[in-house]
Copies of this chain bind each other. A is one copy, B any other.
């Protein structure tokens, strides 16, 4: 599985989804628990194992996840667990050792199902670009298939029951990872974030809470999961994302009108640095990759400039992930100190972005 990750042409990182220039990815996850087994935080090791077995038995029979890998977290070393985290396939809480933790990952990485995280099941579908409809179709089918095999904890009053009350109801969280460099540059982002919080949407960075604005990414998701249908929640999120997208487009247009030369300069400098640096930390690299991505959207650079044979967005998107610490160590097949990582990161960026 891990070997495939780096060559995965079909992953949500391929940049071929709709409006992938501004909406990096769309994601929906559902929280589900098995009726009669306590939530993982309260379950005994045996009970967690019971949930794990149910998951393992069922996933083979569900055609929507055919060909997926079933991986017990305990069977992975720390590096591989971090790879899963960096690829957005598991959450940070799933990293700690613990009985019965597992993850089911589809071949193209679009589907992942965490077992015995906060809930017995955390199903996730993630796709390239702005396509919550596709996420919903896929995850709804998976949910239905699993439901036929496993009795999910459900109350006719409240809906799906979950370990944390914020997830009760639909158990759904839908989100879009947006790339908003122009709104950040023009400082209009702050008002937008404020407004989003006020109307009950949550924002995070590329790698979860506390990584706000890293690489100019913001993940926007619904806060409420109760009192509305899944479709309504998705519609609301789509409305918000569309609005933010419009604002980003306006800000980009304004920048291009007023500061075209400066933008071109920034984009080419970013490429020049990434192609020549010998040491670079993750934060700086993300920042230059963000500028490259913007340059691609604005037509300042193209696939020929990046020498990447027609897949410039896939190249940049993959690099956002592959320059992270665990990926670097996986590529080098050894543990690396911070300074060594900065050196390997520079090597990889140079190699991947360099002209033949």
Contacts and interface: CB of A to CB of B under 8 A. Distances in A.
Output the residue of A265, A271, A274, A275 with the most chain B CB within 10 A. Answer: A265
Contacts of A271: 276
Interface in A275-318: 275-280
A278 to B, nearest CB: 4
Interface string A28-57: 000000000000000000000000000000
A236 interface: no
A154 interface: no
Nearest to A346: B265
A339 to B, nearest CB: 8
A265 B278 CA distance: 4
Contacts of A264: 278
Number of copies: 2
A343 B272 CA distance: 17
A302 to B, nearest CB: 15
A272 B339 CA distance: 21
A113 to B, nearest CB: 42
A269 B273 CA distance: 5
A268 interface: yes
A268 B354 CA distance: 13
Given A272-B273, A273-B269, A343 B278 contact: no
Contacts of A262: 279
A261 interface: yes
A280 to B, nearest CB: 8
A264 B343 CA distance: 11
A279 B263 CA distance: 10
A277 B268 contact: yes
Contact of A261 (B261, B269, B272, B343): B343
A275 B271 CA distance: 10
Nearest to A266: B278
A156 B220 CA distance: 88
A116 to B, nearest CB: 43
Nearest to A270: B276
B276 A269 contact: yes
Output the residue of A262, A271, A272, A339 with the most chain B CB within 10 A. Answer: A272
Nearest to A260: B278
A279 B267 CA distance: 11
A268 B268 CA distance: 15
Contacts of A268: 276-278
Nearest to A264: B278
Closest 6 CB pairs of A and B: A272-B276, A272-B272, A265-B278, A268-B276, A265-B279, A264-B278
14 contacts: A261-B279, A261-B339, A261-B343, A264-B278, A265-B277, A265-B346, A268-B278, A269-B272, A269-B273, A269-B277, A271-B276, A272-B274, A272-B276, A272-B277
